[in-house]
Structure 1
Amino acid sequence: MLKKWRLISLFTILTLVLAGCGEPFLSTLKPAGEVADQQYFLMILSTLIMVVVVIVVSFIFIFVIVKYRRSRLGEDHMPKQIEGNRNLEILWTVIPIILLLVLVVPVVAQTFSQADTKPMDKKNRDPEKTLVVNVRANLYWWEFEYPDYGVVTSQELVVPTDERVYFKLKASDVKHSFWVPSAGGKMDTNTDNDNKFFLTFDSKKAEQAGEYFYGKCAELCGPSHALMDFKVKALSKAEFKQWMKNMENEKAKPKTDLAVEGEKVFKEKNCLSCHATDSKDQRAEAARTAPNLATFGERSKIAGVKDFNDENLRAWLKDPESIKPGNKMTGTYPALNDKELDALTEYLKGLKTQD
């Protein structure tokens, strides 16, 4: 019995220790923008209300047990009955109503405020003032389209800091859910309708976060649901303008003989039937069946989850199923030999908007 309690104690301590592990901005408890700040306030407010209620109820419970215990008053003592006491009935009816109002008023106000996406629906909107990003969720990758610029990218979302970024969300296969924990609550992506909302990314918090914020799929969607990650690069307004300019003028060309061979392999293996290597992808949305690779060489992760290096890239190209089970790339092209893997790896690393 003692051994069991030791194990239980050990696992309890281990759970508490591991609960503190992870990246600094992969938590709703570290808000990094306007929406996240509002939601964090509501979490704190509701928690405080619950704590106050628990403390008051616990105090009354303990008080009654101690004051009216049988050993103190005797077996035959009957405490004064308060059934039908008008003052008490009013008191314990009014107090819950007040507590609910304290919580409901800011919740309703902020819900309507965060649902205001009218600026993104204007026909002649200025993209420098109202940035819109069309997000399309797929098994198991993310596409980000900037419709006012005609730019499409995948896996890494780039946004300006200190301004509202409006998102239109849709899924191409099954239900997913778009979530950047430090920026705001999740929003589902459906196949039959578009959801809209906005987020902001605080510049100071972006500096603290480092290279990027983390994004996740928050809806169980298949065997690789846990691996359906994306990254969010939050840049200053000037840096974002420069990035968009680079994307609009992007024309990556192979710079080595091995990369040229890789481009041939890419075409011969019919990779272009699914993947685009041009950020100005003009194909219809339904025709984009795989991630856009225009900025592949600038990404920080392979398949969204592996560190970007030659070894992981080769492993992904050789056997994508071993890295992301259930992905649509598995079995869609013939096996590659070592020479082809080397060439294709070199080619993909060179897909960048700038040297």
Structure 2
Amino acid sequence: MMKGLKKWRLFSLLAVLTVFLSACTGEDYISTLKPAGEVGEDQYDLLIFSISIMTLVVVVVSFLYLYAFTKFRRSKLGDKHIPKQVEGSHTLEVIWAVIPIILLLILAVPTILSTYKFADVKAMDEVDEEGNKTALTVNVTAKLYWWEFEYPEQGIVTAQELVVPTNEKVYFNLKAADVKHSFWIPAVGGKMDNNVENVNKFWLEFGKESEGLKDGVFYGKCAELCGPSHALMDFKVKTVDRAAFDQWVAAMQATEGQTASVDSTDLGEATFAQSCLGCHAVSGVGTTGAMGPNLTTFGDRNRVAGVLEHSKESLENWISDPEAIKPGNLMTGKYSELSPEEISAVADYIMSLSVEK
């Protein structure tokens, strides 16, 4: 009776695992199994290739095991049968040593070639006849718990939402401002660490526009445990064609000098200037290093704080108590003294910040 119950327990466990594993296909905007770019596709091919080799090994070993199990079973040969005793076989020992070496070489060669290919960032420093860099470079700074993106050649900065052109290599300089983080866009490729003490460099190619995806973006994640809100450290990637990207860059550059005024007749703008402007810029032109995320494109995003629904209500909840949403974040200041009316007005003002509308 107990043996029967144990078998059913095992069957139930396998059934549950099947349900969970069935979700591995994922969605286009976040699944490594649906790559959308050269790096992601090459990594996916390596994954399938290595799984195929491992599957072959498992099948062969399982066949040999079942063959021996069937041929030399006790019910067939009897209790007193003693198999032929072999003290050693030079031929078998050579086979056991050579086959694993061959399999490792088969796995190692494409892996090493791809590793060097992905690490080749020489084009990042190439310039044209006028001395301008020919490749698009983005400086990514990871902070607790948000992402800052600087386009040094374009002179612009944004946060939480990376905008890039499709079908061309985009080069990244990765660093961290506080603790170690890790930059990862599952559907496109990666990941690579953001360190405090050094800059890591790599490239990605975005082969698909994100407009048709859920929320119109690819999802990016922090893939390094960095604190209590690590799981909430998301960013989004909007991929567009080169013409649309150039338009976005021009719109960002047009915000140069844009700011909020404490003398404004708009309560939201005046309150923002007094309580928030010290940490949050509202111009896309500048450099990295701000205490808080750049809010120039806040109205164009699809999430508040990277994880909340993009709505005024979510923004009000964030302003009222950011610690309750992202424990350990560094947002502190006069916002805690704001009245409900001022919070509502500030939320209206921030939601109105846009370069695409």
Against the structure 1 CA distance between its residues 315 and 292, is the aligned structure 2 distance closer, same or farther, given a 3 Å change threshold? Answer: same
In the other structure, the counterpart of 1:27 is: 31
Against the structure 1 CA distance between its residues 280 and 267, is the aligned structure 2 distance closer, same or farther, given a 3 Å change threshold? Answer: same
Could you tell me how far apart the structure 2 residues matched to 1:346 and 1:11 are?
Answer: 51
Q: Which amino acid aligns with 1:178?
A: F
Q: How does 1:177-216 map to 2 (within 5 A)?
A: 177-203=182-208, 206=210, 208-210=212-214, 211-216=216-221
Could you tell me how far apart the structure 2 residues matched to 1:183 and 1:332 are?
Answer: 39
Aligned-residue offset at 1:108:
0.6
Against the structure 1 CA distance between its residues 263 and 15, is the aligned structure 2 distance closer, same or farther, given a 3 Å change threshold? Answer: farther
Against the structure 1 CA distance between its residues 183 and 259, is the aligned structure 2 distance closer, same or farther, given a 3 Å change threshold? Answer: farther
Q: How does 1:114-129 map to 2 (within 5 A)?
A: 114-122=118-126, 126-127=132-133, 129=134
Q: Which amino acid aligns with 2:307?
A: V
Could you tell me how far apart the structure 2 residues matched to 1:15 and 1:78 are?
Answer: 41
Aligned-residue offset at 1:10:
6.7
Deviation string 1:120-155 (CA, Å, 9 cap, x unpaired) is 13466655x411000000000000000001100000
- % of aligned pairs identical? 51
Could you tell me how far apart the structure 1 residues matched to 2:76 and 2:15 are?
Answer: 41
Deviation string 1:183-234 (CA, Å, 9 cap, x unpaired) is 1121110000000111111126x45535110000011111111110000000
Query: CA-atom RMSD, angstroms?
Result: 2.7
Could you tell me how far apart the structure 2 residues matched to 1:32 and 1:343 are?
Answer: 40
Could you tell me how far apart the structure 2 residues matched to 1:5 and 1:345 are?
Answer: 58
Aligned-residue offset at 1:24:
3.1
Unaligned segments of structure 1, at least 5 residues: none
The question of whether the paired residues in 2 share the 8 Å contact of 1:259 and 1:347 is answered with no
Aligned-residue offset at 1:100:
1.1
Deviation string 1:136-185 (CA, Å, 9 cap, x unpaired) is 00000000000001100000000000111100000000000000001112
**What SS does structure 2 have at the residue aligned with 1:273?**
coil
Matched, 1:138 2:140: no
Q: How does 1:1-355 map to 2 (within 5 A)?
A: 13=15, 16-19=18-21, 20=23, 23-122=27-126, 126-127=132-133, 129-203=134-208, 206=210, 208-210=212-214, 211-250=216-255, 260-269=266-275, 271-282=276-287, 285-286=288-289, 288-330=290-332, 333-355=335-357
The question of whether the paired residues in 1 share the 8 Å contact of 2:300 and 2:356 is answered with no
Aligned-residue offset at 1:331:
5.1
Could you tell me how far apart the structure 1 residues matched to 2:17 and 2:334 are?
Answer: 42
Could you tell me how far apart the structure 2 residues matched to 1:319 and 1:258 are?
Answer: 26
Unaligned segments of structure 2, at least 5 residues: none
TM-score in terms of structure 1 length:
0.89
TM-score in terms of structure 2 length:
0.89
Could you tell me how far apart the structure 2 residues matched to 1:107 and 1:96 are?
Answer: 16
Could you tell me how far apart the structure 1 residues matched to 2:30 and 2:127 are?
Answer: 35
Could you tell me how far apart the structure 2 residues matched to 1:8 and 1:317 are?
Answer: 49
Aligned-residue offset at 1:18:
4.9
**What SS does structure 2 have at the residue aligned with 1:94?**
helix
**What SS does structure 1 have at the residue aligned with 2:331?**
coil
Deviation string 1:36-55 (CA, Å, 9 cap, x unpaired) is 11111111111111111111
Could you tell me how far apart the structure 1 residues matched to 2:278 and 2:5 are?
Answer: 60
**What SS does structure 1 have at the residue aligned with 2:34?**
coil
The question of whether the paired residues in 2 share the 8 Å contact of 1:246 and 1:353 is answered with yes
Against the structure 1 CA distance between its residues 292 and 3, is the aligned structure 2 distance closer, same or farther, given a 3 Å change threshold? Answer: farther
Aligned-residue offset at 1:75:
3.7
**What SS does structure 2 have at the residue aligned with 1:36?**
helix
The question of whether the paired residues in 1 share the 8 Å contact of 2:186 and 2:220 is answered with yes
**What SS does structure 2 have at the residue aligned with 1:159?**
strand
Aligned-residue offset at 1:299:
1.1
Could you tell me how far apart the structure 2 residues matched to 1:289 and 1:326 are?
Answer: 15
**What SS does structure 2 have at the residue aligned with 1:327?**
coil
